[in-house]
Structure 1
């Protein structure tokens, strides 16, 4: 992976040069260095987990071990987001399947 010297964003290989995905800066591709890089497949939409406040939770994984404080229902959709540093557990965001109440759980 190569990063832009101007803005620090990730660069992509395009037509023999490395192009910044953010500011558009480009540098000639160093073939010796390029041999060290590994290309991966593009991420599909199925791999993305929405965690923003207005995210649509329906159809996401379901938790059966929770309790909604608003209505007492015990099933909720959830998403996971790393809100702290990497050595801390992720935060689970829930949406009650009955009343739509939202809450979070810090593991």
Structure 2
């Protein structure tokens, strides 16, 4: 993976050059540098994990929040930083009753 020196966006290989999809900057590819890069091509996807027989304590923390789908008042949650570092985390919820998934952002 290569990142643009000008804007920091991820670059894509296009023949003998790296091209930034955001600002259009181009950089010649370096075979020696690319030998140490991680690649995702050819990697196998992991299998789906069945958590239907796992008890609630093993799934993660839960909180009191109303499910918009079934009205249940309990959901498991996890928080992830998906926006800029200076913005708050996004909370992802999964209803403990119907397994509906939704997210909540601070605005």
TM-score (norm 1): 0.45
TM-score (norm 2): 0.45
